[in-house]
A and B are shown apart, each in its own frame.
Chain A
Amino acid sequence: AQTVTQSQPEMSVQEAETVTLSCTYDTSESDYYLFWYKQPPSRQMILVIRQEAYKQQNATENRFSVNFQKAAKSFSLKISDSQLGDAAMYFCAYFDPDYGGATNKLIFGTGTLLAVQP
């Protein structure tokens, strides 16, 4: 079964600095998707960035970028120029599309709580 591990329960970063959140996963599949979701105190689940495993290029969304290492099964999130609004719980998630099947689901890690210090 696929698993997602986030080994950093909490992280802290100074405003305007850069922080990297770690995520590793385990799967025997070759075609899958990886995501980072942000959950602020409002509890909304907000998609931050996504990576398709068949793409070698690392995904980037403004100040957010990933370092996707497929062989190492690693998927870290880098937040540049951190802002106070980035403070939230961040979840790494794995998605096996199982094309044509009916077992599509997101598997979540346990989350990393990011604090941003002014």
Chain B
Amino acid sequence: NAGVTQTPKFRILKIGQSMTLQCTQDMNHNYMYWYRQDPGMGLKLIYYSVGAGITDKGEVPNGYNVSRSTTEDFPLRLELAAPSQTSVYFCASSYPPGRGARNQPQHFGDGTRLSIL
């Protein structure tokens, strides 16, 4: 069981370039999330999705776009990379919220370290 898989693990971009961070999960989770973690800080939510075809903004969505065409995949797109987007990006997935043992809210991928120069 692979869990949440993120690719690539590292990437360096030039200012103005675009790229897509890939995230896929094999746990049949409806909910998926993208976070960014800046140095010395906790994670901040960029976008999330409660199911295929449904996405919504989190706390820091500017400069990013997402899509959710399947339950498994939730790619994050940077259209015009800026130095402020240098960060570590985490994808996570979960079952819908509810009480009980199934509600371990989020399984995380290993992160993508992105540097924009």
CB proximity of B39 to chain A, nearest CB, Å: 11
Residues of A within 8 A of B108 (CB): 44-45
B42–A45 touching, CB < 8 Å: no
Contact B110 A109 (CB under 8 A): no
* Chain A residues, Cβ within 8 Å of B94: 104
Interface size, chain A (Cβ < 8 Å): 25
Determine if A97 and B98 form an interchain contact, defined as CB atoms under 8 angstroms apart: yes
Q: Chain A binding site: helix, strand, loop or mixed by DSSP?
A: loop
Q: How many A-B residue pairs have CB under 8 A?
A: 63
- In the assembled complex, the CB of B41 is this many whole angstroms from the nearest CB of chain A, namely 6
> Per-position contact with A for B94-117: 1 when CB-CB < 8 Å, else 0?
101111000111101011010000
Stretch in B19-27, B43-51, B63-71 touching the partner: B43-51
Complex Cα spacing A42 to B108, Å: 13
Of all chain B residues, the one with the shortest Cβ separation from A113 is B40
A14 and B66 alpha carbons, distance in the complex (Å): 45
Q: By the criterion CB–CB under 8 Å, are B90 and A33 in contact?
A: no
A60 at the interface (CB under 8 A from B): no
- Chain A residues close to B by CB (< 8 Å): 4, 33, 35, 42-45, 47, 50, 52, 54, 91, 93, 95, 97-99, 102, 104-106, 108-111
Can you list 26 residue pairs at the A/B interface with Cβ under 8 Å?
A4-B42, A33-B103, A42-B110, A43-B110, A43-B111, A43-B113, A45-B90, A45-B108, A45-B111, A47-B104, A47-B106, A52-B99, A93-B42, A95-B105, A97-B97, A97-B103, A98-B97, A99-B97, A104-B50, A104-B97, A105-B58, A106-B33, A106-B45, A110-B40, A110-B41, A111-B40
Residues of B in contact with A (beta carbons under 8 Å apart): 31, 33, 40-45, 48, 50, 54, 56, 58, 88, 90, 92, 94, 96-99, 103-106, 108, 110-111, 113
